Amino acid sequence: MMDRPRLTVLSGPSGVGKSTVVAHMRKVHPEVWLSVSATTRKPRPGEKHGVQYYFVDDDEFDKLVANGELLEWADFAGHRYGTPRQPVLEKLDAGVPVLLEIDLQGARLVRKAMPEAQLVFLAPPSWEELVRRLTGRGTESPEVIERRLAAARVELAAESEFDVTLVNTSVEDVARELLALMGVV
């Protein structure tokens, strides 16, 4: 019987480059399956329903929670985000490597629900570089950036709770390291 691959969780402060690393990784290794979360935040330009996220309203999110359809969910900087449970379990059962890109609170909940999960922390080369990336992305207002930087301070302090830290200096290097941790290469 095929070994059930471990679930891998990638977390790290907003703006550190999680989406960029994951997008690169999937371009090189499309067989890695990335969970698509539900969120109550609005799409950024270019984001599509069902691709980056399932964009839902508060009522729909309430229903997902009430029906137990989420493996974990959390409030992040004023919006709710959650991982649909069933697709994750189906992929793991089918032997497909699964990656979740979620926040610190979500990572803690996954660790509780699935202790065999591997928790990976993506760290910025420096605080100044994190601020530069988050600001440079240009997708958030100054007020939202402030809220995300406040959350980032909390997330950076929790690095030691993770199994592994990867520093995002080079997207290609980090993507390769992450694939190795997932047993894909």
**Closer to ligand 5GP at the Cβ: 1 or 42?**
42
**What type of residue is 70?**
L
Name which position in 5, 15, 82, 106 contacts ligand ADP (CB under 6 A): 15
Q: Which residue is nearest to ligand 5GP (CB)?
A: 106
**Closer to ligand ADP at the Cβ: 5 or 133?**
133
**How many residues can be counted in the chain?**
185
- Rounded (to 5) percent helix, strand, coil in the chain: 45, 20, 35
Residues between 141 and 170 that touch ligand ADP (CB under 6 A): 168-170
The sign of the dihedral angle between the CA atoms of 18, 20, 26, 28 is: negative
Q: Is 18 in the site for ligand ADP (CB under 6 A)?
A: yes
Label residues 36-63 b or e (16+ Cβ within 10 Å = b): bbbbbbeeeeeeeeeebbbbbeeeebee
Spatial distance between the Cα atoms of 77 and 166, rounded to a whole number of angstroms: 24
Residues between 121 and 180 that touch ligand 5GP (CB under 6 A): none
Size of the site for ligand ADP (CB under 6 A): 14
Using CB under 6 A as the criterion, which residues of the chain lie in contact with ligand 5GP when the complex forms? 14, 18, 37, 41, 72-74, 76, 81-83, 101-103, 105-106
Interface ranges with ligand ADP (CB under 6 A): 14-20, 133, 136-137, 168-171
